[in-house]
Amino acid sequence: MNLLSTTAVMGLLGVSGVAAQAQATIEGTVTLPHEASIEVINKRYQMNGEQGMIAPDPPAAVVFLEGSFPAKKGSLKAQLVQKNLDFAPRLLPVQIGTSVEFPNQDTTYHSLFSFSKAKRFDLGRYRSDETPVPSVVFDKPGPVVLHCDIHEHMRAIILVLETPYFAKTDAQGKYRIGNLPAGHYHFKAWLNDKTTLEKTVDLKDGGTLHVDFP
Q: Residue 11 has what pLDDT? A: 44
Q: Residue 22 has what pLDDT? A: 45
- 137 torsion bin: left (phi>0), alpha (psi -120 to 50), beta (else): beta
Q: Residue 17 has what pLDDT? A: 40
Q: Residue 14 has what pLDDT? A: 38
Look at the chain and count its residues.
214
State the Cα–Cα distance between residues 70 and 59, nearest whole angstrom.
32
The CATH number that applies at residue 64 is 2.60.40.420
Number of domains observed in the structure of the chain: 1
- 28 torsion bin: left (phi>0), alpha (psi -120 to 50), beta (else): left
The residues, ordered by sequence, that sit 6+ positions from 212 with a Cβ below 8 Å of its Cβ are 28, 29, 30, 31
What are the per-10-residue average pLDDT scores of the chain (214 residues)? 42 42 87 66 42 87 93 86 96 97 93 95 90 84 95 95 97 96 97 96 97 96
State the Cα–Cα distance between residues 1 and 128, nearest whole angstrom.
27
The residues, ordered by sequence, that sit 6+ positions from 103 with a Cβ below 8 Å of its Cβ are 79, 81, 82, 128, 131
From the CB of residue 64, how many other CB atoms can be counted at a distance below 10 Å? 26
From the CB of residue 46, how many other CB atoms can be counted at a distance below 10 Å? 17
Q: Residue 39 has what pLDDT? A: 46
Domain span at 101: 3-210
Q: Residue 132 has what pLDDT? A: 65
